[in-house]
């Protein structure tokens, strides 16, 4: 097997979320592990794509239609997203995360948060670079780093041992930085465990990144989906140097806008600049007409987000 074949062999998609329709009946038994479990089955692969998926944010379709009607100006925005949309989104993200966001230089609209992750890792990792990722964490993190030629350095998270924090091993993380790691990638809330990093853990990550001159990519896709009485701490507002962090969010999950392929990455201006250059040769921009739908983000009707959270918790 040649080098290029080996590279793509690591990007297996046969059993990835959403690929079920491509699997024949003969493949099902081969995918099973262990004894058959009793009870009602629950699909954990994609939280919002089955027959009981939640409806998108109110007004989403109307905004999409309005975008289509605007024509070329909406279809062909700047690579990093329409300027008026970025102004709007930047204000919301600054208020939500507790730290300022420059719409002009610190924000890029992407084709989903998956696109944002690819751009962020592509902007920070070169062949041979050592990259720390949490275990467990989002399944694509490893694939992204390995595809770009990076070397994975795992950092443990004992999520079953604690109820007041995620359980990240900060000593392991510091050891990773001492070994030459310059990029750390993690999700908060953690996907798949669902645990939330404590304020102390986030402060620890910030302090270590500053001490060792590392870049941190914080995937906060689920940060709006918090059950009552759960506190959340944003890394970018916790003492980390502003040029050392990229935060990734989007309206795909809680807001059920996954089909519009919208995400946002914001933070270090020099990294956002690199991400724009990479986006320009991958997808040019987030879908122009879909960008109009992002006007609904953080502008849902009063009580809507609370009710949606209650429905997820039920």
Q: Is residue 151 part of a domain?
A: yes
User: CATH number for the domain including 84?
Assistant: 3.40.640.10
Range of the domain at 170: 70-313
Beta strands at 263-267 and 245-249: parallel, antiparallel or unpaired:
antiparallel
Question: Is residue 266 a part of any domain in this protein?
Answer: yes
State both tokens at 110. Answer: 């992407």
DSSP string, 111-164: SHHHHHHHHHHHTT--TT-EEEEEES--THHHHHHHHTT-EEEEEEB-TTS-SS
Domains: count for the chain: 1
What's the chain's average pLDDT? 92
φ and ψ of 21, to 5 deg: -70, -15
Beta bridge partners of 265: 108, 248
Could you give the CA distance from residue 249 to residue 90 in angstroms, rounded to a whole number?
12
Q: Are the C-beta atoms of 85 and 291 separated by less than 8 Å? A: yes
C-alpha to C-alpha distance for 305 and 107, rounded to whole angstroms: 24
Q: Is residue 26 part of a domain?
A: no
pTM of this structure: 0.91
Closest CA to 224 of 212, 216, 232: 232
104-160 pLDDT, tens digit per residue, is 999 999 999 999 999 999 999 999 999 999 999 999 999 999 999 999 999 999 999
Residue 251 belongs to some domain of the structure = yes
Handedness of CA 146, 264, 241, 158 (dihedral sign): negative
Asked whether residue 153 is domain-assigned, the answer is: yes
User: How far apart, in whole angstroms, are the C-alpha atoms of residue 199 and residue 177?
Assistant: 21
Would 242 be classed as within a structural domain? yes
Q: Is residue 270 pLDDT above 90, yes or no?
A: yes
Write the pLDDT tens digit of every residue in 183-237.
999 999 999 999 999 999 999 999 999 999 999 999 999 999 999 889 999 999 9
Query: And the tokens for 197?
Result: 């990093």
- Gyration radius from the chain CA atoms: 20
Which two three-digit tokens encode residue 142?
Answer: 């490893």
Per-residue pLDDT tens over the stretch 275-305: 999 999 999 999 999 999 999 999 999 999 9
Distance of alpha carbon 272 from alpha carbon 141, whole angstroms: 19
254 belongs to a structural domain: yes
Residue 6 domain flag: no
Backbone φ/ψ region at 284: left (φ over 0), alpha (ψ -120 to 50), beta: left
Residue 246 has pLDDT above 70, yes or no: yes
Q: Determine the Cα–Cα distance for residues 204 and 215; give it in Å rounded to an integer.
A: 14
């Amino acid at each position: 097997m040649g080098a290029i074949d080996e590279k793509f062999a690591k990007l297996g998609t046969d059993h990835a979320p959403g690929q079920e329709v491509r699997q024949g009946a003969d493949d099902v038994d081969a995918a099973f592990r262990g004894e058959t479990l009793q009870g009602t089955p629950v699909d954990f692969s994609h939280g919002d794509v089955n027959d009981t998926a939640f409806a998108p944010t109110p007004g989403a379709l109307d905004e999409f239609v309005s975008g289509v009607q605007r024509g070329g100006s909406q279809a062909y925005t700047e690579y990093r997203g329409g300027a008026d949309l970025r102004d709007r989104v930047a204000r919301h993200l600054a208020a939500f995360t507790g730290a300022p966001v420059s719409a002009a230089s610190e924000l890029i609209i992407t084709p989903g948060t998956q696109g944002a992750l690819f751009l962020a890792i592509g902007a920070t990792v070169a062949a041979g670079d050592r990259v720390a990722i949490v275990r467990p964490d989002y399944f694509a993190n490893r694939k992204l780093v390995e595809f770009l030629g990076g070397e994975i350095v795992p950092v443990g998270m004992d999520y079953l041992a604690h109820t007041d924090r995620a359980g990240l091993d900060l000593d392991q993380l510091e050891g990773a930085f001492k070994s030459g790691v310059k990029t750390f990638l993690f999700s908060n809330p953690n996907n798949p465990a669902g645990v939330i990093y404590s304020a102390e853990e986030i402060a620890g990550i910030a302090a270590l990144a500053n001490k060792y001159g590392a870049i941190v990519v914080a995937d906060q896709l689920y940060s709006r989906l918090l059950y009552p009485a759960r506190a959340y701490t944003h890394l970018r507002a916790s003492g980390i140097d502003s040029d050392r962090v990229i935060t990734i969010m989007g309206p795909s999950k809680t807001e059920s806008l996954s089909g519009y392929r919208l995400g946002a990455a914001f933070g270090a201006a020099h990294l956002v600049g690199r991400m724009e250059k990479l986006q320009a040769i991958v997808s040019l921009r987030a879908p122009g007409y879909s960008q109009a739908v992002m006007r609904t983000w953080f502008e849902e009707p009063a009580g809507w987000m609370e009710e949606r959270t209650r429905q997820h918790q039920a």
